[in-house]
Amino acid sequence: MPVLEAETLTKTFQEGHETVIVLRGASLSLERGEIVTLEGPSGSGKTTLLSILGCILTPTSGSLKIEGKQVDMHRPRQLPEVRKRSVGFVFQQYNLFPALTAVENVEFALNIKGVRGSDARKEAERVLCAVGLESRLNFLPRDMSGGQKQRVALARALAGEPPILLADEPTANLDSEVGGQVLHIFHDLAKRENRALLIVTHDPKVRTVADRVLKISDGHLAS
């Protein structure tokens, strides 16, 4: 059974008297342990689709199942619970708290999920070690390289063991060598920990770790 199933998702916005169609019947599924890339030009609907799959935005129409359960998009107050339980996000700009160390940044994410105290510290240390940052646990973001900060962001997404990882341009701010290292970490963790991973990207190198490539153009999704 797919861990995520989206059927005919549409999204429209009103700009004055004009209706702007951003997504036009997008359907896709993700399996555990599968790595899928989503490619498309700016304005094609990539980020909107990612936000709907991650229960940040609600679609205008269509359906979404996560872990076999229908997500009721008409009850937005329920969506944060779905995100906390099932989805980990990795952002292009890292989105780390500058005053918190690496381990504290991951602990904070776990606190939001209801994990606290020594349990949160042990889990934060575990996922940071899993991404190769055992020597940087107590470093602040300002004292880390771009690649290290992206690995902290990945550790934060892994914390609490969500089955789905969504990454938005995770190599965009990294040079070629460091970006390649981060991609290999993504690949190894997705396969070893049996997570579904969807990566939105402009970077053709990301294809080297992908099982499937999806393309989106003017709101139309195709494999």
What residues contact 136, with CB distance under 8 A and at least 6 apart?
A: 102, 128, 144, 148, 152
The helix-helix angle for 146-158 and 102-112 (nearest 10°) equals 30
CA distance linking residue 8 with residue 111, whole number of Å: 35
**Can you tell me whether residue 218 is helix, strand or coil?**
coil
Per-residue pLDDT tens over the stretch 199-217: 999 888 899 999 999 999 9
Read off the tokens for 152: 């902290």
Question: Sign of dihedral through CA atoms 22, 27, 30, 34?
Answer: negative
Mean pLDDT along residues 95-108: 96
Per-residue pLDDT tens over the stretch 138-168: 999 999 999 999 899 999 998 988 999 999 9
For residue 98, pLDDT beyond 80: yes
CA distance linking residue 212 with residue 209, whole number of Å: 9
Q: What total of structural domains would you count in the chain? A: 1
CA distance linking residue 64 with residue 9, whole number of Å: 8
The helix-helix angle for 117-130 and 146-158 (nearest 10°) equals 130
CB 151 within 8 A of CB 182: yes
Whole-prediction pTM: 0.91
pLDDT of residue 64: 95
Kindly state the percentage of the chain with pLDDT values over 70: 100
The pLDDT mean for the chain works out to 92
For tokens 């070629």, the residue is 176
pLDDT of residue 135: 94
One-letter identity of residue 72: D
pLDDT of residue 60: 93
pLDDT of residue 68: 92
CB 96 within 8 A of CB 152: yes
Question: Sign of dihedral through CA atoms 47, 93, 192, 212?
Answer: positive
Largest Cα span, the chain = 55
CATH at 97 = 3.40.50.300
Mean pLDDT along residues 99-119: 95
Looking at the chain, the number of H-run helices and the number of E-run strands are: 6, 10
For residue 223, pLDDT beyond 80: no
Domain that holds residue 67: 4-222
* Among candidate residues 152, 144, 185, 150, the one with its CA nearest the CA of residue 170: 150
Per-residue pLDDT tens over the stretch 179-189: 888 889 889 98
Per-residue pLDDT tens over the stretch 56-75: 999 999 999 999 999 977 77
Q: Strands (DSSP E) along 114-211, which ranges?
A: 164-168, 196-201
Mean pLDDT along residues 193-200: 94
